[in-house]
Amino acid sequence: GENVEQHPSTLSVQEGDSAVIKCTYSDSASNYFPWYKQELGKRPQLIIDIRSNVGEKKDQRIAVTLNKTAKHFSLHITETQPEDSAVYFCAASRKGNEKLTFGTGTRLTIIP
């Protein structure tokens, strides 16, 4: 089955700087890669996703890149703000088998 690894497990960034979280996956048939943000005591929220037919996707301060050959994808947050502090999870799945396999999570702390 699919295995998703995520790094780093914790990340502290000065407010205004950029944060990068990286994930690798094992199943070459995976073609959908979402990122979820989970604030303390809240449900995971889908913040951005990418499919294997594109290499990069951007939504305001958030971007995701995908390297299918290397089987890794990354989340980039620019101009970080205190409200970006949360746990971020990457995940992978493939069409026809919609179950998500999650990474282990990254606790992001933005330092004011």
Partner 1 sequence: SAVISQKPSRDICQRGTSLTIQCQVDSQVTMMFWYRQQPGQSLTLIATANQGSEATYESGFVIDKFPISRPNLTFSTLTVSNMSPEDSSIYLCSVEGGDSYNEQFFGPGTRLTVL
Residues lying near partner 1 in the complex (CB under 8 A) are found at: 1, 32, 34, 36, 42-46, 49, 89, 93, 95, 98-105
Amino acid identity of 82? Answer: P
Residue 104 CB, nearest approach to partner 1 (Å): 5
Tokens of 12: 């502290």
Give the residue with the Cβ less far from partner 1, 11 or 78.
11
* Distance, CA of 105 to CA of 16 (rounded, Å): 22
Minimum separation from the CB atom of position 15 to partner 1 (A): 25
**Strands, sheet with 4-7, edge to edge from the N-terminal-most edge strand:** 4-7, 19-25, 72-77, 62-67, 56-59
Give the shortest CB-59-to-partner 1 separation in angstroms: 14
Closer CB to partner 1, 41 or 112, in the complex: 41
Give the nearer residue to partner 1 in terms of CB position, either 17 or 56.
56
Phi, psi (degrees; rounded to nearest 5) at 84: -80, -10
